[in-house]
Structure 1
Amino acid sequence: MNRQNVINLLVNALEARFKTARSAALQAREAAVNEESVAETKYDTFGLESSYLAHGQSQRVIECENDWLQFSRQVPVKFAVIDKVCLWSLVRLVPVDSKLASRFFFISNIAGGLALEYQNLPLVLVSPATPVGKILIGQEEGECVSITISGKLTEFEIDAIQ
């Protein structure tokens, strides 16, 4: 479990998300300004709908770019020993008596909800304001927490904090 590797993975994923959003926004803009989008009748709303989509996509690009830039510029706190889960913690949870796989959570106030894989296990970026974030913040290694996954309450042990 290497926190810096996870941070690099997250920065790369956020950059890819930004590039995908930018590409979608360009496509939506091209559709909105295309000559075929000009209304032929007063009931033809394709051009108007395309412009709304282009605007929404451009807003998404701004959000994705901000997440990526903020996360990549953030200097994570270097911990000698982490006693409790806090902002910028990488947490590994192991199910107590379930056939579920272990999972990783990274606590960040940026881009919460992003889901990836790390060491072939689920990795989710959670903010301290989310239900999972609220449960994890302040917990110590070895403690048990109950988290709802796929509608089922599951008990996990905090196996490691970095």
Structure 2
Amino acid sequence: MRILRFSCFDMNKTHVIEHLRFALESQLYRAKEAAKAAHDAATHEESVAETQYDTLGLEAAYLAQGQAERVNECYRDIQAFNTVFKETEFPKVREGALVSLIDDQDQQKWFFIGPSSGGLSVTVKEHTIYVVTREAPLGKKLLGKKVDDEVELVIGDKKQFYTIDKLI
């Protein structure tokens, strides 16, 4: 049974996209800073091995390599999101959709179906929007659903029920 929820708040997808772009750019900036710091540590004169058992330089090099890969991942995320940001018209849930769910306690939750960066969240007008990927349990359940469809999500031994309230 669907409980009707009346709200004076209308989510603006353009604002959500702006916030997501900013969050992705912030992740890239932080990743670049971490990569630079790791590279500096790996190439610093104190990182040169003094004995065959001294692994500080090797560990710093591995860290720098991992941080560089994180920067590349951030660039890929931004590129993937730019593709779905251009999408409009969502009769069914798919990547790029902004979805409002109402739980069985009549609480509203917002989700953006993203190509990556699951777990990323942004706040727009005091509402938190969570990025969910199609591979996530909730993402799998939502794909292909329409407004007023019900979704059951099992986490551990607890069942949660949601109704799709809005699809933007």
Do structure 1's residue 85 and structure 2's residue 93 form an aligned pair? yes
Aligned pair partner of 1:21 in 23, 28, 31 = 31
**Contact residue 113 and residue 125 of structure 1 kept, 8 A:** yes
Please give the TM-score of this superposition, normalised by the length of structure 1: 0.86
Pick closer, same or farther for the CA change 1:87–1:74 going to 2, 3 Å: closer
- CA deviations 1:61-116 (Å, max 9, x no partner) are 0110221234236552222xx43212211001121137xx4221111224333233
Alpha-carbon RMSD:
2.1
**Contact residue 102 and residue 121 of structure 1 kept, 8 A:** no
Counterpart Cα distance in 2 of 1:25 and 1:148? 38
Pick closer, same or farther for the CA change 1:15–1:112 going to 2, 3 Å: same
Give the gaps of 5 or more residues in structure 1: none
Counterpart Cα distance in 2 of 1:83 and 1:62? 33
State how 1:36-115 maps to structure 2 within 5 Å: 36-72=46-82, 74-79=84-89, 82-97=90-105, 101-115=107-121
Give the gaps of 5 or more residues in structure 2: 1-10
Task: Quote the residue 1:117 is aligned against.
Answer: 123
Q: CA deviation at 1:121?
A: 3.2
**Contact residue 93 and residue 103 of structure 1 kept, 8 A:** yes
Please give the TM-score of this superposition, normalised by the length of structure 2: 0.83
Pick closer, same or farther for the CA change 1:133–1:118 going to 2, 3 Å: same
Aligned length: 158
- CA deviations 1:113-151 (Å, max 9, x no partner) are 323333333322122232211111111212221234687
Do structure 1's residue 158 and structure 2's residue 164 form an aligned pair? yes
